[in-house]
Amino acid sequence: MISQIILSGLAIGSVYALMALAMSITYKASEIPNFAQGEMAMISTYIAYVLLVVQGISFFWAFIFALLFALVLGLALEFVFIRRAKEPNLLNLIIITLGFQMMLYGLAGWKWGADQRRLRMPFSETETYDLGGGVVVSQLGLATIGTAVVLMLIIWLFLRFTKLGLAMKASQQNAMAARINGIRTNRILSLSFGISSVVGAIAGMMVAPVTTLDPGMMWDPLLKGFAAAVLGGLTSLGGVVVGGYLLGVIENLFGFYISLEFKSVVAFLIIVIVLYVRPSGLFGRHYVRKV
C-alpha cells in the first residue's frame, strides 16, 4: 500500500518539481519569485487546447506550438515589463509579476469563461500497468513522470554542455564578470524567463488532463511549486527537484495516514517550518553582508 501511495506522490510530485524548477530558473537569474509562472503555464495550456480541440491540429504540433507560445510569453514578460521597472528592487519586481498574473488570469477568464474544459492527451488515465505487488500506475501517470524526468535531463544537459547554457550559468554566478567576457546578460535574463515559461507550460499540460482546464487551474500547482522550491532552497536546481518530489510524497502520505481534510495545508506548513529551521531551504546557500 505504502509504495502505491509513494508512487502516486511521485506522479504529482513531478508537476511540483517542474513548477519549482521553473521558479528556480528565473529566481537564479533575477532573484524574483515569479508569481505569474502559473498563469503563464495556464495560458499556454489553453493555446494547446485551442490548437488540439478547436483547430484539430495533431497532438505533436499543438504541443510544439504551445511551447513556442510559452517561450514568447516568457520573453515578453521580461522584455516588455520587468526590464522597464523604474526601480528594479524586489518589491517592485514582485508587483510586476503579480500584475502580469492578474492580467493573464483576467484574459483567460474573459476569453474562455469559467467553464471547465478537458484537455485530452494521447495517454489514458484509466489504462493502468501493474508493477507487481499490487502497485499500479496509469498510463498518464507514467507519461507524467517520464516527461518530467526527460525534461530535467534535457535542462541539465543544456546547462552543462551547451554554450548558451554555460553563458546562463556564468551570468547567474557573476553578472559583472560575464558581461566583461562579452556575454549579453540582458538577453540571458530574457532567455531564463522564456525557458522557465516553457518548463511551466509542460507542467500545465501535465496538470490539465488530471484536473480540468480552467483559469484557476495553476493556482495550486504554483503554490506547491513555491513550497517545493523553498524546501529545496530556491537556488539549487537539483535541490528544488528533490523538493518537488519530496513534497508530492509527503503530501500523499499525510493525506492517507493523518488527515485528508488538511492535506492541502501541509505544503504551507512545510514552507513555514523549513524556513524557521533553515532560512535558505534544505540545499540553498546563505550570504552574509560585509561592512
Ligand X SMILES: Nc1ncnc2c1ncn2[C@@H]1O[C@H](COP(=O)(O)OP(=O)(O)O)[C@@H](O)[C@H]1O
Give me the least distance between CB of 289 and ligand X, in Å please: 7
Indicate which of other proteins, ligand X, none lies near residue 257 (CB less than 5 to 8 Å, by partner kind). none
Q: How far, in whole angstroms, is CA 233 from its chain's centroid?
A: 15
Indicate which of ligand X, other proteins, none lies near residue 170 (CB less than 5 to 8 Å, by partner kind). none
Indicate which of ligand X, other proteins, none lies near residue 69 (CB less than 5 to 8 Å, by partner kind). none
C-beta closer to ligand X: residue 277 or 291:
291
Indicate which of ligand X, other proteins, none lies near residue 85 (CB less than 5 to 8 Å, by partner kind). other proteins
Give me the least distance between CB of 95 and other proteins, in Å please: 5
Q: Which residues are near ligand X by CB under 6 A?
A: 288, 290
CB-based contact 200:40 (threshold 8 Å) = yes
Indicate which of ligand X, other proteins, none lies near residue 1 (CB less than 5 to 8 Å, by partner kind). none
C-beta closer to ligand X: residue 86 or 290:
290
Give me the least distance between CB of 159 and other proteins, in Å please: 16
The CA-based dihedral angle spanning residues 254, 258, 262, 266, taken in that order and rounded to the nearest 10 degrees:
-30
Give me the least distance between CB of 23 and other proteins, in Å please: 10
C-beta closer to other proteins: residue 147 or 278:
278
Q: d(Cα 4, Cα 6) in Å, to the nearest integer?
A: 5
C-beta closer to other proteins: residue 116 or 124:
116
User: Which cell numbers hold the place of 267?
Assistant: 505544503
Rg for the chain (alpha carbons), in Å?
19
C-beta closer to other proteins: residue 22 or 140:
22
Indicate which of ligand X, other proteins, none lies near residue 262 (CB less than 5 to 8 Å, by partner kind). other proteins
CB-based contact 230:284 (threshold 8 Å) = no
Q: d(Cα 234, Cα 238) in Å, to the nearest integer?
A: 10
Cell 498563469 appears where?
Answer: 39
Give me the least distance between CB of 285 and ligand X, in Å please: 13
Helices (H), the chain: 2-30, 37-49, 59-76, 90-112, 139-161, 163-173, 175-180, 185-207, 219-232, 237-257, 263-277
C-beta closer to ligand X: residue 186 or 280:
280
Give me the least distance between CB of 270 and other proteins, in Å please: 8
C-beta closer to ligand X: residue 147 or 280:
280
Using Cβ positions, the residue closest to ligand X within the complex turns out to be 290
b/e sequence 244-277, b meaning 16+ C-beta within 10 Å: bbbbbbbbbbbbbeeeeeebeebbeebbeebeee
Give me the least distance between CB of 194 and ligand X, in Å please: 35
Indicate which of ligand X, other proteins, none lies near residue 171 (CB less than 5 to 8 Å, by partner kind). other proteins
Residues in CB range of 225: below 8 A, 6 or more apart: 16, 18, 19, 20, 22, 23, 37, 38, 203, 244
